[in-house]
Copies of this chain bind each other. A is one copy, B any other.
Amino acid sequence: MRMAELSAATGVPVPTIKYYVREGLVPAGRPTGRNQADYDDGHVRRLKLVRSLSEYGGLSIAVMRDLMQRLDNPEEHDFDLLGAAQKTITEHREASPGTDRDQAEQELAELVARRGWRWEPHHPATRTAIGILASLHEVGRDDMVEVLDSYAAAAELIAETDIRLLGDDLTDRERAVEIVVIGTAVGDTLIAALRRIAQATLARRTYPAERAGQSR
């Protein structure tokens, strides 16, 4: 397969493919001559993965490069790989200074204890959650912190599905990482979309007729 065919098979413009190869997101083709190379289904697959992660997962080129280099490096242990993959796509944003993060941290720790989850204070997701809780207090939305348990129950339901999807077969590295990465990054967007659709329905049910939280 030549580059034009690769481009046609994926819908990604040729210069963009060149850019991705340069950035290490997609492996180079197998050279067949001084200025000719051969691409295969693996390239098509990888390219579609990159597009999905970028379009629906919102991952940056730099994050994806990290991920793909880990994936292409056979030295990396499989289970570290999955954990690392999960952490890589969880960008940690520290709370703005001046915020009361201690109270938020304690609230989250208590929630984690109530649910019987593991408390991992340095996990980027933990740091993000703490930042959000602190931020919600700042903005005066303490009521949202109070219903945290409801959100946590839903999150656990989602996570159970995620783990079920991963299954037992972790022998295919590329496949396993794909499951984790797509499931997590694209899954976030999917869940957000489903949430909005459900919201629209429930809003109409709660505030019927012209009172509904819907235009028109």
A residues with a Cβ closer than 8 A to B are 11, 45, 48-49, 51-52, 55-56, 58, 79-80, 82-84, 86-87, 90, 93, 96-98, 112, 115-118, 120, 123, 125-126, 128-129, 131-133, 135-136, 138-141, 143-144, 147, 150-166, 170, 178-180, 182-184, 186-204, 206-207, 210-216
A204 touches B141 (CB 8 A): no
A125 touches B79 (CB 8 A): no
Interchain nearest-CB distance for A49 vs B (Å): 6
A202 touches B163 (CB 8 A): yes
Cα distance A182–B183 in the bound complex, in angstroms: 25
Interchain nearest-CB distance for A92 vs B (Å): 10
Q: How many identical chains are in the complex?
A: 2
User: Would you call the interface of chain A mostly helix, strand, loop, or mixed?
Assistant: helix
Select which of B118, B163, B197 is within 8 A of A125 by beta carbon. B197
Chain B residue contacts of A207, Cβ below 8 A? 79, 170
A79 touches B182 (CB 8 A): no
Cα distance A215–B80 in the bound complex, in angstroms: 4
B206 touches A141 (CB 8 A): no
A129 touches B190 (CB 8 A): yes
Interchain nearest-CB distance for A164 vs B (Å): 7
Chain B residue contacts of A206, Cβ below 8 A? 163, 166
**Interchain residue pairs with CB less than 8 A apart (10):** A11-B98, A51-B135, A56-B132, A90-B196, A117-B200, A120-B197, A128-B193, A139-B182, A155-B197, A170-B207
Cα distance A133–B203 in the bound complex, in angstroms: 25
Chain B residue contacts of A199, Cβ below 8 A? 86, 159, 162-163, 184
For A56, the closest partner residue in chain B by CB is B132
Cα distance A138–B44 in the bound complex, in angstroms: 10
B84 touches A215 (CB 8 A): yes
Cα distance A165–B135 in the bound complex, in angstroms: 17
A151 touches B187 (CB 8 A): yes
Cα distance A204–B159 in the bound complex, in angstroms: 12
For the complex of A and B, the 5 pairs showing the least CB-CB separation, nearest first, are A155-B194, A159-B198, A125-B196, A82-B213, A83-B214
